[in-house]
Structure 1
């Protein structure tokens, strides 16, 4: 069995291809679900879990490129497979974010490597997205004034200079600074600067 809550979705209008791929993936410890059309896949209520999509390029009705376009906002890594590939389609697929383009009959070793790479990419993305959401939650816990003070501090302004910018006392800036460090869970000023950098506060202001 593969890691819990990881899924490989297979979309191919040829049931024999779907079955062969699912047997290969199952034999290598992967959980998967097969769909015979892009519409069927899009209508399926997918779980919020690490996943990748093995997608046939040419299918009746909605083709693979159309499906890719519709799932682009979900950031699910896509691996295209096709028996009749062409350069323009490959370019379009890659520009759309596909991680690879495999010709049928699919090389088993190549497919397994692509699937593992795709799942790794999704794991990394999900970890980064979670960490960013946690960071944003901490930033949003700051008061409006603390949100004004933070970018001034990480730009390197002294407490006195930040106070002058905001028309408040230096002591008040010191108080805000302490609250900011605590709420942002920064154990040092260097850490605070790094966190602010992830929020792009130095150049863009509040996210």
Structure 2
């Protein structure tokens, strides 16, 4: 878990469904926030939200699938579990192909929903850790000078020090100095670690 507590965000236009979900999830010790419409959730949404979204496929005005598309466009990484009626399964499968986390058919067993939520929260934890790592790498990259970036690009491309020196028209000694500073600023010890770090954010 990160500093921000994970919350189960339930978006469903059926009040009875929202109430029973709240009762079930709070009974399991989860923090729950309910919304009666997709628009209501969008109004409250922020990039800092952690947890997962339990989303009804069929809702008036804006469907769960339309909300998923909007969230996708906003760059949201919140795992989504769709709640579907029997006829909505093909739509839910299409949503999975577009990046949704899971779907569950009504009527469902509480245990099935809880296990899916647990998986979604684990995924959210992984996503948050990845984002933290990517942010740290991006921050390190920003510390590099223009020349260090040029040297790093050629190092990552597999060029030898002599080739880099020739290409940039600088001495081998200068290449070695820049290369050492790049490794230090990027917090890596080996070329493989450097390549991996650069690939992560590109």
**TM-score when scaled to structure 1?**
0.87
Q: Mean Cα displacement is larger for which, 70-79 or 38-47?
A: 38-47
Q: In 2, Cα distance between the equivalents of 1:106 and 1:117? A: 17
Q: Mean Cα displacement is larger for which, 179-188 or 14-23?
A: 179-188
- Residues 68, 96 of structure 1: 8 Å contact kept: no
Displacement of 1:4 after TM fit? Answer: 5.5
Displacement of 1:158 after TM fit? Answer: 2.6
Gaps of 5+ in 1: 200-206
Gaps of 5+ in 2: none
Aligned length: 198
Q: In 2, Cα distance between the equivalents of 1:47 and 1:160? A: 45
- Residues 8, 51 of structure 2: 8 Å contact kept: yes
Displacement of 1:36 after TM fit? Answer: 1.1
Q: Mean Cα displacement is larger for which, 27-36 or 185-194?
A: 185-194
> Residue 64 of structure 2 aligns with which residue?
64
Displacement of 1:180 after TM fit? Answer: 0.9
Displacement of 1:91 after TM fit? Answer: 2.9
> Residue 106 of structure 1 aligns with which residue?
108
**TM-score when scaled to structure 2?**
0.89
- Residues 49, 78 of structure 2: 8 Å contact kept: no
Q: In 2, Cα distance between the equivalents of 1:43 and 1:194? A: 38
Q: In 1, Cα distance between the equivalents of 2:158 and 2:46? A: 46
> Residue 28 of structure 2 aligns with which residue?
28
Alpha carbons of 1:102 and 1:136: their partners in 2 closer, same or farther (altered >3 Å)? same
Q: SS of the counterpart of 2:48?
A: coil
Q: In 2, Cα distance between the equivalents of 1:20 and 1:121? A: 25
Aligned 1:135-150 pairs, distance under 5 A: 135-150=137-152
Q: SS of the counterpart of 2:61?
A: coil
